[in-house]
Amino acid sequence: MNVHGDCPDFRGASDGTPATDSFAAKMGLSPSHYGRARSMSPTRRVAATLLAGAVFATGCGTEARPKPPPAAAVPAIDAPGLARLLERQHGKVVLVDFWATWCGPCLELFPHTVELHRRHRQDGLAVITVSLDDPDNELAVRRFLGRNEAYMENFLGRYGVGPDAFAAFGIADGALPHLKLYGRDGRLLKSFAGGGRPIDPKEVQRAVEAALK
Amino acid sequence: MTRKTRLGWLALMVAAIAARGHAVELKIGDAAPNFTGIIGIDDKEHGLADYQGAKLVVVVFTCNHCPVAVAYEDRLVALQKDYQAKGVQLVAVNVNTIADDRLDKMKERAAKKGFNFPYLYDATQKIGRDYGATVTPHVFVLDKDRKIAYVGAVDDNMEPDKVKSPHLRNALDALLAGKRPPQEVTKQFGCGIKYE
């Protein structure tokens, strides 16, 4: 599947990927807190899936497209919280995607992360996304996640948009997007930083697939 | 490890270093890289020596297209206004070469925002590589001896009303008082500079 698709405003949903509430269970969060928007959305999701099929079938015309609802409330996370979450992923390969709504290249890369999760979550890949947006910008974050059908463990950095966030999460060059890949043993295998060029999603995919082997 | 593998690794490492291009990381106390002949929005050439009358020079790598850089424009204008009489000269430099960041767009942006400091364009990107600038905005304060005295962010929050620590102003105040900045290095953050 071409993750960029021919319809940049509507990505994913063609396989009707169900939401997972495993994170809510792990964090001891009540469904009303974490799973609210997800648990009320199956009907819309099915409708969206059907409509998406129709849209694909008609070659992405200009007819009305379904508007996915914003994702559920995105919990705040700090660096120790992320470290604890990583520790709980025993035996899984973990990809962490640091992004922000203010970062254009992040919005281009993000669908690739969604697609990697969809393709490999059954193979033992966990994906965590951390938005480095201002906490007051949460709705925009949720809208973007919803639009991208991002059924991963999604968080909003606790530090706001500033040097503390980048220092705490270990983003050396201070630039987004930034991806970190952890092996099944929990060891950091690779950080993907732009380094003056955009991150190549194929390179990320190759590294993820190598780590899953 | 065979000789061939070793050579392979060596080649990879060399390639990796070459690909990064801007892997330089200036340390506090390092001599600031000189620059000359960089075109400004006034269509004149600028160099570090032009500002020898200034006690402190603040080199800020910035650009037009980046939301973080844009969020800091007003703060840079206010900073130059507040510190000019104290002998501080801010110099903004753009090394991004996408259409939105080229000289004509820089002129538009500077006029719109009332930039009260030089705004220079280095399409060769050399100055960015020399300073090891990775993002916009990325700040370097040069002391009276033109040694690096502060590196990093303008302050601690992109949202102006949420700033708790104005890192750059704190650094300038300390340096003007003959002291070292309370924090000499903060983590720069923003949009990655695209090097060709």
pLDDT in tens, A62-107: 456 667 788 888 999 999 999 999 999 989 999 999 999 999 999 9
Task: Give me Rg for the CA atoms of chain A.
Answer: 17
Q: In chain A, whose CA is at the least distance from the CA of B162?
A: A160
Whether chain A has a CB inside 8 Å of the CB on B122: the answer is: no
Structure tokens at B137: 């905005």
| B190: closest CA of chain A, how far (Å) | 6
Q: Could A162 and B156 be called an inter-chain contact, meaning their C-beta atoms sit closer than 8 Å?
A: yes
Q: If interface means Cβ-Cβ distance under 8 Å, which residues of chain A face chain B? A: 102-105, 134, 136, 160-167, 171, 173-176, 193-198
Structural domains in chain B, CATH included, are 22-192 (3.40.30.10)
Is some CB atom of chain A closer than 8 A to the CB atom of B63? no
Test the B interface: residue of A108, A134, A158, A166 with most B CBs within 10 Å: A166
Token pair 């510190």 is at which residue? B83
Please check whether residue A203 is in contact with residue A112, taking contact to mean a CB–CB distance below 8 angstroms.
no
> CA distances (Å), A14 to each of A51, A67, A103, A137, in order?
9, 14, 26, 28
A160–B194 CB contact, under 8 Å: no
Report which of B25, B23, B16, B20 is spatially closest to residue B187, judged by C-alpha positions: B25
| Domains assigned to chain A | 70-212 (3.40.30.10)
CB-CB under 8 Å, A171 with B188: no
pLDDT (tens place) for every residue of chain B, 196 residues total? 455 555 555 554 444 444 444 457 899 999 999 999 999 999 999 999 999 999 999 999 999 999 999 999 999 999 999 999 999 999 999 999 999 999 999 999 999 999 999 999 999 999 999 999 999 999 999 999 999 999 999 999 999 999 999 999 999 999 999 999 999 999 999 999 999 8
More confident residue, A125 or A194: A125
Tell me the C-alpha distance between B180 and B60, whole Å: 20
Asked if A206 contacts A117 with a C-beta cutoff of 8 angstroms, the reply is: no
Inter-chain CB proximity A167 and B187 less than 8 Å: yes
> For A109-130, what is each residue's pLDDT tens digit?
999 999 999 999 999 999 999 9
Q: How far is CA A188 from CA A4, A115, A195, A211, B47, in A?
A: 28, 21, 18, 11, 43
CB B39 within 8 A of CB B120: yes
The SS3 assignment for B132 reads coil
What mean pLDDT value characterizes chain A? 78
